[in-house]
Amino acid sequence: MPHTLDRGHMDTSPTDDPIFRPLTINGLTFKNRVIRSSLGGRVDYYDGSMSEGRIAWDLRFARGGVSAIISSNSGIRADGMAVPGYATIDDDRTIPSWRRLVQEVHRYDCRYIIQLHFAGRQRDIPRKDFVDIPPPSATSRPDLLYGLRARRMTIPEIEDLVQDYARAAWRAREAGADGIEIVACNGYILHQFLSSAINDREDEYNGDLRARARLTLEVLKAVRSAVGRDFFVSMKLSGRDEHNAYTAPLVRAVGNTLADTIELSRWLAEAGLDAIHLSQGDSFPHPLVPAGRLPTDDARRLFASLFYEGTRTPLAFLLLQFAPFRRFAEWNWGRRMPFVRGRDLLPDKIEGMNEDDAAKIKEASGLPVICVGGWQSAGRIREALEADRCDTVSIARGLLANPDLVHQFAQGQENPERPCTYCNRCLINVVQYPLACWEEARFDSREQMFHEAYSVYKEAAVGVREV
């Protein structure tokens, strides 16, 4: 039955299959209920200028039938880029390239949402100009996983950051994007303020949840004044921090709980947010995101490339050279997670793993919820939508493995023939190697895997957009 929510601005007009039922939020219509979640990869130029590779990548998913694409994290300022080589939105000069990307994606009746990002402490690799300058954060303590250094921000720096978000949001609208997503999850700057496990300030930006949420609410307010009320603005949140996921029992802090995020979601709804995109975990990566294995053979190389970046990376690199330590790290990564039993991964428990939290946040806030987390089979997605536990799903790895997943569903296929195995090789390799599915078992041969991995560059180089 069509319905409208005052606050969420949501209208639906049903067709037989809930996956293909359009959804409208604040005037923005999604043609179906599958959104491509952000998939960062170092495919752009070092300074943040956009490459043809970025356009070729996003067009793959637009052609594959998703209703919208959320860009990979787009730095609102050069010192806030998580890794160099991702297209930024830190200057008015970036507007024409974003506009071109958006126009190309629109040709496939696909909406484009730009993700506004500032890494803060969780800056994996600084740009050369910021090497050895600790990034601004809510704390001066290094993070748990890598030991990435940080510097507690001053009040004037916080005020500047709020304006940087507003300016970036304005640029996104100028570029013709259909909306923006503000990153407030996975240990990036807004989450550093939000999280009780990370924020250790002694001023009005810390104390209770309301104080920790102050910066996030200030950013939302500034962004709204920059883009107006009639522009889609969503926020990616972590439902639960699970701060001690890979270190307990050594670390007792848990961080924000689902109850905290539910409370926050109510405030965000009152402050004019349009939708919540639900993730998990207070770092990236984290055992809860992307949920699955820690491929320690590949992680060895990652820690080598991060050797100088964190206080803990040299030790992790050395330990990972030895098989028993690698096995321990693999076990430790998943041991508290519901989708691991002994040494086995339980893929059924990964697919839709955030659905329960999404349903609670949706109910409490009244906001539409985009639920991410392991989705890749039509049946499971349909079930969640039918039960109204989320409004749409978003997919990262399932689409990286099968960019035409939505077309497969439309043709009646319930599950992809070669599903994503949640091996996380795509993620762990992304700092050093091209963004691609690196799970050899999914391909007929090693040669085919490399052929697929490099094919996006050929599409970009010759401008083949219609293949």
Ligand X SMILES: Cc1cc2nc3c(=O)[nH]c(=O)nc-3n(C[C@H](O)[C@H](O)[C@H](O)COP(=O)(O)O)c2cc1C
Instruction: Name the residues that contact ligand SF4, by CB under 6 A.
Output: 397, 400-401, 420-426, 437-439, 442
Map tokens 């109510």 to a residue: 266
b/e burial code for range 1-31 (CB count within 10 A of at least 16 → b): eeeeeeebbbebeeeebbbbbebbbbebebb
Q: Tell me whether strands 179-184 and 151-152 are parallel, antiparallel or unpaired.
A: unpaired
What token pair was written down for 305? 């490339």
What token pair was written down for 111? 């909406």
Give the dihedral of Cα atoms 307, 185, 112, 100; nearest 10 deg: -40
What token pair was written down for 84? 């160099």
Residue 37 sits in the site that holds ligand X (CB under 6 A): yes
Using CB under 6 A, pick the residue from 76, 430, 437, 453 that binds ligand X: 430
Taking the complex as a whole, how short is the minimal distance between the CB of residue 285 and ligand SF4, in angstroms? 11
- Which partner from the list ligand SF4, ligand X, none does 243 bind, CB cut-off 5 to 8 Å by kind? none
- Which partner from the list ligand SF4, ligand X, none does 279 bind, CB cut-off 5 to 8 Å by kind? ligand X
Residue 427 sits in the site that holds ligand X (CB under 6 A): yes
Site string for ligand X, 82-121 (x = CB under 6 A): ---------------------------------x------
The alpha carbon of residue 442 and the mean position of all alpha carbons in its chain are separated, in whole angstroms, by 24
C-beta closer to ligand X: residue 273 or 372? 372
Taking the complex as a whole, how short is the minimal distance between the CB of residue 400 and ligand SF4, in angstroms? 4
Residue 237 sits in the site that holds ligand X (CB under 6 A): no
Residue 36 sits in the site that holds ligand X (CB under 6 A): no
Using CB under 6 A, pick the residue from 139, 279, 313, 402 that binds ligand X: 279
Taking the complex as a whole, how short is the minimal distance between the CB of residue 385 and ligand SF4, in angstroms? 23
What are the start-end ranges of the H helices in 183-257? 189-194, 209-212, 214-227
- Which partner from the list ligand X, ligand SF4, none does 442 bind, CB cut-off 5 to 8 Å by kind? ligand SF4
What token pair was written down for 153? 């921000």
- E strands of 2-153, at which residues? 10-12, 23-25, 28-30, 34-36, 68-70, 74-75, 111-117, 136-137, 151-152
At 29 the three-state DSSP class reads strand
Taking the complex as a whole, how short is the minimal distance between the CB of residue 466 and ligand X, in angstroms? 26
Taking the complex as a whole, how short is the minimal distance between the CB of residue 203 and ligand X, in angstroms? 28
C-beta closer to ligand SF4: residue 80 or 373? 373
Region binding ligand X by CB under 6 A among candidate stretches 35-43, 93-101, 313-321, 446-454: 35-43
Rounded CA separation 58/60 (Å): 5
Q: Which residues pair with 136 in a beta bridge?
A: 151
C-beta closer to ligand SF4: residue 65 or 295? 295
Check: CB of residue 244 under 8 Å from CB of residue 335.
Answer: no
Rounded CA separation 291/340 (Å): 10
Residue 72 sits in the site that holds ligand X (CB under 6 A): yes
Residue 183 sits in the site that holds ligand X (CB under 6 A): yes
Residue 395 sits in the site that holds ligand X (CB under 6 A): yes
- Which partner from the list ligand X, ligand SF4, none does 289 bind, CB cut-off 5 to 8 Å by kind? ligand X
Region binding ligand X by CB under 6 A among candidate stretches 8-16, 27-35, 36-44, 119-127: 36-44
Rounded CA separation 357/337 (Å): 15
Residue 281 sits in the site that holds ligand X (CB under 6 A): no
Q: Which of 249, 246, 256, 217 lies closest to 233 in space, CA to CA?
A: 217
Check: CB of residue 51 under 8 Å from CB of residue 33.
Answer: no
Check: CB of residue 87 under 8 Å from CB of residue 53.
Answer: no
Site string for ligand X, 374-393 (x = CB under 6 A): xx------------------
C-beta closer to ligand SF4: residue 218 or 298? 298
The alpha carbon of residue 271 and the mean position of all alpha carbons in its chain are separated, in whole angstroms, by 22
Taking the complex as a whole, how short is the minimal distance between the CB of residue 315 and ligand X, in angstroms? 25
Taking the complex as a whole, how short is the minimal distance between the CB of residue 172 and ligand SF4, in angstroms? 27
Q: What angle do CA 447, 438, 371 make, to 5 degrees?
A: 140
C-beta closer to ligand X: residue 37 or 201? 37
Rounded CA separation 456/55 (Å): 10
Q: Give the binding site for ligand X (CB under 6 A).
A: 37-40, 72-73, 115, 183, 236, 279, 289-290, 372-375, 395-398, 426-427, 430, 435
